[in-house]
Structure 1
């Protein structure tokens, strides 16, 4: 019988925590009546924090391929949640802006995310939260380029 090494056990715990985070986010969104896929919710949060970013910036932050992000941008645009406008200096570059509806929904997503996060982190005191943030920051710093980054909310997707 193969025994788990300490590293495997730690990785299992990280995956379990990521699963719990996704579950809390999903139940928070569902509880608030927000019908968005996790990546759609993350996109709204990212675009709130980075208004007017380029689609290429978003591709890098999301750690997704250009085609997937293009489909997501099209979908959110069709839903009236964002607009892509040409850059004023280089019209080949599309800048992404949330509409008023996108801003409002993003605010709801943020509130649902925080509520779910509070439940998830309720058992940690302030010192433990600070230590966890430090350790997760170290893990994030080791993330290869082109992967989901610290700039992308809910990167555990």
Structure 2
């Protein structure tokens, strides 16, 4: 299949797109919405969002991680991370304990219940991504990931 055949105009022939179909950010955003919306529906019963699962994932891999580190990783403001963390703590998935060296600084740890939710969520994420990318070959998936990371890393270096 050639890229000339892959346009939104084929899906909405009644709309004049006037070059909008050439805006890469529109397509990236729409693809992200497809991934996130599907995951939100599947994770809802576990009382977590995709972003909260990512936080659990990082906390499990980095016990004692600070919220400021999560903020830097996700490129979102600290108060937003704090809201996610508060929700995870209310649900019993995370705990925040003060540092032994600096009582003002706290670190995050995942609870047993949080690990159970994370484990189930990881399966859902893998299945969801496999379903949404089934139209891609293994090489195409690798190339898509490589290109997205190239854009991300280039933008991150520029500030």
Q: What interval of TM-score do these two structures reach, taking the shorter chain for normalisation?
A: 0.7 to 0.9
For each residue in 1:83-106, what CA deviation from the matched residue of structure 2 results, as whole angstroms up to 9, or x when unmatched? 111222222211100011111111
Q: Give the whole-Å Cα distance in 2 for the aligned partners of 1:109 and 1:81.
A: 13
Q: State the number of aligned residues.
A: 143
Alignment gaps of 5+ in structure 1: 148-157
Pairwise CA distance, 1:77: 1.5
Q: Give the whole-Å Cα distance in 2 for the aligned partners of 1:25 and 1:72.
A: 17
State whether structure 2 residue 69 is matched by structure 1 residue 57. yes
Aligned to 2:140: 128
Aligned to 1:3: 18
Aligned to 2:37: 23
Root-mean-square deviation over aligned CA pairs: 2.3
1:78-97 to 2 correspondences below 5 Å: 78-97=90-109
Q: Give the whole-Å Cα distance in 2 for the aligned partners of 1:85 and 1:3.
A: 54
Write 1 or 2 for the structure with the bigger share of helix. Answer: 2
Give the alignment's TM-score, normalised by structure 1: 0.78
Alignment gaps of 5+ in structure 2: 1-15
8 Å CA contact 1:59–1:65 kept in 2: the answer is yes
3-state secondary structure, aligned to 2:46: coil
| Greater RCO, 1 or 2 (C-alpha within 8 Å, sep 6+) | 1
Give the structure with higher Rg (CA): 2
State whether structure 2 residue 153 is matched by structure 1 residue 117. no
